[in-house]
Amino acid sequence: MEELAAYWENIMDVLNDGVYISDHTGKTIMINRMYEQLTGLDRRDLLGRLVTELVDEGKFDVVLNPAIVRNGKPKTVIQTTKVGNRVVLSGYPVFDSAGNVALVVTFVRDVTSLSKMKEQLAYQQELLERLSEVQFCSRRDIFRDLFVFESPRMQGLLRLIDAIAGTDATVLLLGETGVGKDVLARYIHQRSLRTDQAFFKVDCAAIPPSLVESELFGYDPGAFSGASSRGKPGFFEMAHKGTLFLDEIGELPLAMQGKLLRILQDKEVIRIGSTKVKKTDVRFIAASNRDLEEAVKGGTFRRDLYYRLQVAVVQIPPLRERKDDILPLVRHFLNLFNVKYRKSLTMTPETESFLKGYHWPGNVRELENLIHGLVIMIEKEWVETADLPPNMLAMPKDVKERSLQAIMSNMEKELLRNAIETYGSVQEVARHFKVDRATIFRKLKKHALR
């Protein structure tokens, strides 16, 4: 210990943290070299002085010694010195044999360094969040269980997808919102030669236009104001050797469509703010609920990109066009949520008949959400027709006692109500119905829906 004591100051001076030691009276008894560097203060002006006096003189604005001596517990604060340096103080008590605080040892760290560390941690957390979207499939048949269908049309569709999946061809999935494009994209990846690699999904409609380029292609450090000092890889880089699924590709801005086309053709990506070209080997799957051919004619989708996507096109039929799949799906989701919530709910034959005849504007997603809600809300054992949501029950039944005009008006009202619930806005409803917004506004007002 005597030999160690001889080198005590030298040991303190090689530490990366600043060290400030004071006794139980608040007198400064030791300061290392790193403390001087971090705070801009000279130890000769501090040693032997009471910390409270130093605060009064303006050497720094806060100290930990009095509070730690008083309660014997560690404490952390941010301190600003007279030269404007900001540091983080973490103080700890050292007790004597009687259990009283004898010394207070304070470790000092630079706020700027901590900010950089925080930025690095945030960057790593962002990568982890992105990687949480990566899907690894351990068995080639795992996704078979997600497909519930009996209709010949869907059986033929799955045979087509199985044939496509084994290739590396670009795939374009088309269909209305809620038909299951996401599930089919994951199935294609799982049945492909890249099944052991990463699967990334990007919802183009959910990314603000100003962030699309940086999210897809990444950026180098300092590429723009607010950019991470470490840069960030884009989805094309992260999906290297795996599969990238761009959902709602029709929502991509035209400028990004051009960059996407170049990547698909050249298999190369360049980050924002960089001149370095990186090779990328990605299986590409796109999906859209829009009529891309009409979008090409309207000038909102590039014709060359549209043709580039026309390699393997899969048109997924809406649920109303494959009614043989409705009841198998109802029973599948009913069993799924019964198990999840430990219930034993069943459908009456009348309810099943009604559901099979319903037009399902929201497709499989609407059906799943309906069954989920029924299982949660209903406490009895049977789901009767009267338990279904009012908007579903509004379809006219007594057609013999009503005029054709009244029947059609009522159907139009419910169609508009369901469309607004499904697509979320007048603009989207107008686009899907291929009419102008004024027409939709007028009809909503007519039926007192707005």
Q: Is residue 242 part of a domain?
A: yes
pTM across the whole model: 0.57
Same domain, 307 and 435: no
Boundary of a domain, candidates 282, 302, 317: 317
Look up the CATH number of the domain holding residue 238.
Answer: 3.40.50.300
Report which of 55, 18, 57, 56 is spatially closest to residue 40, judged by C-alpha positions.
18
Same domain, 201 and 275: yes
Instruction: Provide the 8-state DSSP code for 27.
Output: B
Output the six-digit token pair for 176. Answer: 């209305």
Radius of gyration from C-alpha coordinates of the chain: 33
Q: Is residue 99 part of a domain?
A: yes
Same domain, 297 and 360: no
Same domain, 407 and 379: no
Local confidence pLDDT in tens for the 450 residues of the chain: 566 667 778 888 888 889 999 999 999 999 999 998 888 888 889 999 999 999 998 888 889 999 999 999 999 888 888 877 788 889 999 998 888 999 999 998 877 555 555 555 565 565 555 554 444 433 334 444 456 778 889 989 989 999 999 999 999 999 998 898 999 999 999 999 998 898 999 998 888 887 888 888 888 887 776 666 678 888 888 899 999 999 999 999 888 899 899 888 888 888 888 888 888 899 999 999 988 999 999 999 999 999 999 999 999 999 999 999 999 999 999 999 999 899 989 999 889 989 998 989 899 999 999 999 999 999 888 999 889 988 888 754 444 445 556 666 777 777 787 788 777 788 888 887 778 888 887 888 777 777
Same domain, 150 and 298: yes
Q: Is residue 126 part of a domain?
A: no
Same domain, 270 and 146: yes
Boundary of a domain, candidates 63, 80, 114: 114
> At 382, phi and psi to the nearest 5?
-120, 140
Same domain, 278 and 350: no
CA–CA separation, 315 vs 297, rounded Å? 20
Three-state DSSP class for residue 398? coil
Q: Are 21 and 30 in contact (CB under 8 A)?
A: yes
Same domain, 214 and 298: yes
Instruction: Provide the 8-state DSSP code for 125.
Output: H
Q: Is residue 51 part of a domain?
A: yes
Three-state DSSP class for residue 378? coil
Q: Is residue 306 part of a domain?
A: yes
Boundary of a domain, candidates 289, 317, 345: 317
Can you spell out the DSSP letters for 77-127? EEEEBTTS-EEEEEEEEEE-TTS-EEEEEEEEEEHHHHHHHHHHHHHHHHH
Three-state DSSP class for residue 166? coil
Look up the CATH number of the domain holding residue 412.
Answer: 1.10.10
Distance of alpha carbon 280 from the chain centroid: 23
Same domain, 29 and 177: no
Same domain, 143 and 256: yes
Q: Is residue 30 part of a domain?
A: yes
Same domain, 50 and 180: no
Range of the domain at 180: 133-317
Distance of alpha carbon 102 from the chain centroid: 51
pLDDT at residue 145 in the model: 46
Look up the CATH number of the domain holding residue 52.
Answer: 3.30.450.20
Q: Is residue 127 part of a domain?
A: no
> At 252, phi and psi to the nearest 5?
-65, 140
Look up the CATH number of the domain holding residue 357.
Answer: 1.10.8.60
Same domain, 369 and 418: no
Q: Is residue 120 part of a domain?
A: no
CA–CA separation, 16 vs 201, rounded Å? 43
Number of domains in the chain: 4
